């Protein structure tokens, strides 16, 4: 009898816990989706036209470009993948370890706007923390298709 009461009480607590998870999890996700990420500073940004000019100019020193998302490949970019995932960040750190911090580096994703992208901030933060003083974010107001590909800028 005591065992039966204990089992029923335990099952009721489990059911209530699941109920709260199903209620609280979506609310938490919704709440955090409205929290704006820290804005990028103007000096951290490079405009698409400026980067395209550097890529197209045979005499220009080319920046090292990292594609830190799962989007169209800009000409000459190193494909990393989403750095908001462990495997992507691990690959990014490995590739960054091969270059000197005095190099100009550009990161981009383009899955959405630079303001809302989950991949840009971890990448630029890592570069800044590791002494890359010339690290920039490609300013993408809408997405890589609209702000790069459809404008005829160089892709692979």
For the chain, 156 residues long, give each residue's pLDDT as a single digit of tens.
554 544 455 455 555 555 555 565 455 444 444 444 566 788 899 999 999 999 999 999 999 999 999 888 899 999 999 999 999 999 999 999 999 999 999 999 988 888 888 999 999 999 999 999 999 999 999 999 999 999 999 998
Q: Do 3 and 62 reside in the same domain of the chain? A: no
Contacts of 44 (CB under 8 A, 6+ apart): 124, 135, 136, 137
Structural domain includes residue 104: yes
Q: State the pLDDT at residue 40.
A: 77
Stated pTM of the model: 0.74
Q: Do 20 and 85 reside in the same domain of the chain? A: no
Residue 137: name the closest of 39, 62, 47 by CA: 47
Contacts of 149 (CB under 8 A, 6+ apart): 72, 155
Q: Do 75 and 24 reside in the same domain of the chain? A: no
Q: State the pLDDT at residue 47.
A: 96
> Domain span at residue 85?
42-151
Q: Do 52 and 2 reside in the same domain of the chain? A: no
Q: State the pLDDT at residue 137.
A: 96
Are 59 and 156 in contact by the 8 Å Cβ rule? The answer is no
Q: Do 30 and 61 reside in the same domain of the chain? A: no
């Amino acid at each position: 009898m005591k065992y039966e009461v204990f089992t029923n009480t335990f099952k009721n607590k489990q059911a209530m816990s699941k109920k709260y998870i199903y209620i609280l999890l979506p609310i938490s996700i919704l709440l955090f989706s409205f929290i704006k990420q820290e804005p990028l500073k103007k000096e951290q940004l490079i405009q698409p036209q400026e980067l395209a000019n550097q890529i197209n100019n045979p005499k220009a020193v080319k920046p090292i470009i990292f594609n830190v998302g799962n989007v169209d490949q800009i000409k000459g970019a190193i494909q990393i993948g989403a750095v908001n995932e462990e495997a992507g960040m691990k690959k990014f750190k490995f590739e960054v370890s091969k270059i000197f911090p005095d190099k100009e580096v550009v990161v981009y994703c383009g899955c959405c706007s630079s303001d809302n992208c989950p991949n840009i901030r971890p990448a630029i933060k890592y570069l800044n923390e590791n002494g890359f003083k010339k690290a920039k974010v490609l300013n993408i107001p809408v997405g890589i298709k609209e702000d790069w590909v459809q404008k005829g800028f160089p892709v692979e």
